[in-house]
Chain A
């Protein structure tokens, strides 16, 4: 028994500690043999052709799937061909694994010199001193007006911590077939959230084919929702913001959740969920994943980032997009995330400089921007490319791609800070209780405010 106890302790302790760190760290280096060999062969060709100057090798990390991985390697090959003094080793993995590995690598001092960070994680690393301040380099090498979203990685003190690799902005996706079937008019750019709800009510169909207002409509047994809606980015954030509310103040250290506009926004959401028009958290749990509802045709509308076109196209949906609705006072907001290149704070100057060459290459080269845009995962960061036919006249749906660019005018980042994930979790918990009617809106906002503030205090008071 004692042995059992000890064995467990080892498990618990070791799992949580450096053992995991050591394991992941070493695995990562050979964990993607294909990745490194492809890149190094490209490098080999480049170094053979030239060979001037001091040679610098950098480790470049990114998360990817199969398609984006091979495209990324192609681009890296082109980069090293153009920069014979820089050789690039790559490290790539699917999203979740990439970050698990990254954290332990940073701990072990073996993290990539430059890596692709989810936009919502840039500040997590920046405020903990893990990434390099890029303010000077950006000022020197990039023309701010040429790009979308440089300011998204700017902190309250005006320092820049990353350069966008691709932009994701939220718009309203709608399923044209379902609208046609219900005889409802397509969304327009003048819609308010109330207009959306009125249309959504007509598009909500229960198991017996009845809609709201018809006798026998069962709001607890809905087969097709008017709107699907979840969590912060593709859920409550833009509703709160366009109602004039929000979560954090501009310093990112103070919660402003308990407010009248937020209450109004919550009333709109809770009412929609009560009536079965909007998916509530329990409805969402019946699906494979939160994101599966719209592509499967189980909802007529969704708030979706640009990348959601991939799943919608794959499902063969007949859909289009429009601007997100306005709030009661005409205010607009769209969630935006700029997945960004960040440079390791621990990398020496030579490596950091070489890493910056890659970032600069990515942002400034039209050809790189075009090739990446063709992959269809993100809106190009360079305005000239985003506004060209490469992006706007894609072969695939949606037709109204201009809506994404128009949304960037009023887009807002998700109050991102060092403890973003943690406060979002706290907010969600309270919001869900309100959504399910387990708690009144007033109580939910009060306790969300207290919980979120506690998270902020814990980190920022140090």
Chain B
């Protein structure tokens, strides 16, 4: 619409540039029209961002005004074993979670991409955990992994094996959290993959069949490359959400006593949880802000890396 108006304007003026006054009135209206968003952006996005950047260079306990402290917060990170442990735990969580969820979701999507009766119900069943809140998931997880009353230990005991502490075991805690997160998240990724699978043109498969390709060959040489943009999206997205993981770990490891979230012995302390405790429990908001910015830098770098590498394996037609 606007373009048409502008074009007609130009035609009338014989191709000369639109007079300035008229343009500025238009842009004023433009500004007014987008102002709700701009105001929101300045107040709730840019403002807090700037403030948090400032806090990250200051000593701020929330109860007193921030005091500029230069790079102290970032230096503190270097000598804070908990920060490094949290970073390590976050990476460990991501490295386990992203490939596992991506792979299983793909397998599931391929399996549920057949034309079978009742398929909708299977798809729906896998999607239910996605829309359940973490608090609900907690109860399900507890029914299985409760160290005394859970089904998992009951099974182990019946098989004559030693029962386990599960989430209370420093070595098992993160793998277990990953399993639970995969169970919850897989339905969502599956749906994205299903969309990807259904957009692969059928004639490609027909052509391959004429050339005598088997189903493995078709999957390997047609499906995988064709859905590689989907895989790329899924990997980038899950990496980011995994770095943000907070609620699930807070709820699952803090069960019954929130001060123990991140335990046992900080084995499930991830960056977001560390950041939250530093800021809101221990009142080191400056330090927490610094952690948030470092977290951002890490994610930014990771995403840039993924962008670089994608050229090697992602195919767009």
A16 touches B279 (CB 8 A): yes
For chain B, the count of residues having a C-beta within 8 Å of the partner chain is 56
Within 8 A of A (CB), among B24-82: 44-45, 47-49, 51-52, 55, 61-64
B282 touches A419 (CB 8 A): yes
Question: In angstroms, how far is the closest chain B Cβ from the Cβ of A394?
Answer: 29
A16 touches B276 (CB 8 A): yes
Can you list, as one digit per residue, whether each of A8-49 has a CB less than 8 Å from chain B (1) or not (0)?
111111101111010000000000000000000000000000
A286 touches B63 (CB 8 A): no
23 interchain pairs, CB-CB under 8 A: A1-B303, A5-B296, A8-B240, A12-B244, A12-B296, A13-B52, A16-B275, A16-B292, A18-B48, A19-B44, A103-B280, A107-B63, A130-B64, A220-B163, A283-B148, A286-B148, A419-B282, A421-B282, A424-B259, A425-B259, A429-B264, A432-B263, A432-B265
B306 touches A285 (CB 8 A): no
Chain A contact residues, CB within 8 Å of chain B: 1-2, 4-5, 8-14, 16-19, 21, 96, 100, 103-104, 106-107, 124-125, 128-130, 220-221, 230-231, 281-290, 292, 419, 421-422, 424-425, 428-429, 432-433, 436, 438
Q: A14-B52, A18-B52, A289-B256 are in contact. Are A104 and B62 (CB under 8 A)?
A: yes
B283 touches A103 (CB 8 A): yes
Task: State the 6 A-B residue pairs at the shortest beta-carbon distance, nearest first.
Answer: A286-B148, A17-B52, A9-B296, A289-B256, A19-B48, A107-B62
Question: In angstroms, how far is the closest chain B Cβ from the Cβ of A136?
Answer: 23
Interface centre among B237, B264, B283 (most CB of A within 10 A): B283
Residues of chain A lying within 8 A (CB to CB) of residue B272:
12
Residues of chain B lying within 8 A (CB to CB) of residue A288:
256
Interface SS, A side:
helix
Residues of chain A lying within 8 A (CB to CB) of residue B296:
5, 8-9, 12-13
Residues of chain A lying within 8 A (CB to CB) of residue B55:
17
Question: In angstroms, how far is the closest chain A Cβ from the Cβ of B139?
Answer: 10
Neighbour of A12 across the interface among B148, B275, B285, B306, CB < 8 A: B275
The answer to whether the Cβ of B94 comes within 8 Å of any Cβ in the partner chain is no
The answer to whether the Cβ of B147 comes within 8 Å of any Cβ in the partner chain is yes
Question: In angstroms, how far is the closest chain B Cβ from the Cβ of A97?
Answer: 12
Neighbour of A290 across the interface among B48, B236, B244, B256, CB < 8 A: B256
- Docked Cα-Cα span, A100 to B47, in Å, equals 21
Can you list, as one digit per residue, whether each of B255-299 has a CB less than 8 Å from chain A (1) or not (0)?
111111001111000001001100111110100110011011001
The answer to whether the Cβ of B165 comes within 8 Å of any Cβ in the partner chain is yes
Name 16 extra pairs, CB < 8 A, besides A10-B45, A17-B285, A230-B257: A8-B296, A12-B275, A13-B292, A16-B285, A17-B292, A103-B283, A129-B63, A231-B257, A281-B264, A284-B256, A290-B257, A292-B256, A421-B281, A428-B259, A429-B263, A438-B265
